Structure 1
Amino acid sequence: MKRLHESRLFKILYYLLEKGQATAPELASKFEVSVRTIYRDIDVMSSAGIPVYAAAGRDGGIKLYDDFIISKALLSESDIQDIFIGLQSLSAAQYSDHEGTLEKLGALFKKTNTDWIEIDFSRWGACVQKEHEIFSLLKISVLKRQEIVFCYYNSRGEVSERRCRPIKLLYKDRSWYLFGFCCKRNDYRLFRVSRMRSLKLTEVMFDEIPHDNLNILPLPEDMEVLNEIELRFPLDMGHRVLDIFSEEAIIQNDQQFIVKASLPRNEWLYEMLLSFGENVEIVRPISLKEEIIERCEKALNHHKGAES
């Protein structure tokens, strides 16, 4: 019971730090206790040296003094570890600049093991410095709400100039995407970062976009139409099948893997299927099988022509 009480006190403290102030009924409702219990908790926090007080009047409520800074003594060992895990993960992603923060916190909390994880999202053969510059510009545009312009190549190789209001970066299916409002399409879009060229910040700033309207991310422009597809793979291709498809889409029997999924008919799908060579059977749609046959014949004729 004592531990539960202490946990509630910390939660009240963090809530006040985030919200600035709250009424006793508001806190009582949030933490499912009585208003009387909330006032007792405030007395306990005040006695412990936390500058919390109750102000009367129309704009009153329970508040913390403006210059209050949370002490490291209020953080448990578990809290400290959680903070370091979060910052180490951001730093390991290499598209952040939290190394200095990690060093300062390491000295404050006497932690020395701050490089236990390393992640490299850069592509093989890519110029790492160039990719870092792109992500640095994207980070600035997201945090400062600053419009960007860039040239964008779609899956058909067509290029167009775009102006965008960036909202967030998303890493999905081994690729980075920028989610934002496309001024050309007058709608929200996902842009694959590897297809963006000549990226520049503009002088145009935009207002913060309400997050309530952004719960469902759109598909990238070349993935908006999905097709029901059934594929079959031999058992020795299981490692690749599991890499690409979700568990819900895979059925395994004694002879093969059967995949039933909704997938976009785009270059990603064609390249993925061709990469399996003779180790994939396209059950449906028949038009997809015909497209793969046509592409294989074109490639074969091209290379035969090159030999002669």
Structure 2
Amino acid sequence: MSPFKGIALKLCAVVLFVVMSSLIKAASDTVPPGQAVFFRSLFAIPVILGWLALRGDLATGLRVTSPMGHFWRGFVGTAAMGLMFAGLGLLPLPEVTALGYTAPLLTVVFAAMFLDERVGLFRIAAVALGLVGVLIVLAPRLSTLTGETVQTTQAVGAVMVLLGATCAALAQIYIRKLVATEQTSAIVFYFSATSTLLSLLTVPFGWVIPDGPETVYLILAGLLGGLAQIFLTSAYRFADASVVAPFDYASMLFALMIGYFIFDEVPTGAMLLGAVLVIAAGIIIILRERHLGIKRGKARALRTPQG
């Protein structure tokens, strides 16, 4: 184990995921979310295959024992990605990032519901704290959910991101089941393959021919997303999940910086307060799981902000 190496890899993954989201946001004015999912997924595949080839796992790393498990993980993960990308086009980047932190909180709830995992009062209280933070972030948006205004559009975006986080949490439940029988490389690859194919179902809803810069943004988003997934997966090989998982929340710092300097987005006090509560709740849950000895490293290694 090499904790510092694991942390460094995790931070690299976090930065790349935020940059990837920024590229998707930059193209979102004209490129629909389904088309963005296609580019994000398709151009991640050669990166993942190259990684497998370098590891010598290309011949054996793609074998599966649960094809339908991979499909359902891909289905809910694709829904999460599409909803998150839709939200990026409607909301400031830091706000999407903050609302995305709902996913690990909901994973605790879904684990109790679908995996019969025992959840004590300590983690229930942490989830409740996090959901209070989410409500603080959402409140200014949901109060304007009527009429045809910019605020209404942003309210719809907030709801989409929250639904995306819900789908991402469900994807984590499928991953938790898959890691018991499937190789990490197979889970990573077949998610990208499934989301590429499923995104094609959105073609009738208005795909466009992107211009030069937008095409570059979308291709880069796919390449960086694939590279970030490799860094993320590798981070958990060098350090325990409880060590590297809290660094997920460094994404808020990078999202604030990119949002401010690139997109001229100034965060509100409510957004920052809500984000602090959600981050605190997430870290409390991670520390509690470490204390209880819950092994979730493999599942976290396969998580992406989009599911």
* TM-score between the two structures when normalised by the length of structure 1: 0.20
Normalized per residue, the structure richer in strand is 1
Per the normalisation by structure 2, the TM-score is 0.21
Higher-Rg member (1/2):
1
Kindly indicate whether structure 1 or structure 2 has the higher relative contact order, using CA contacts under 8 Å at least 6 residues apart: 2
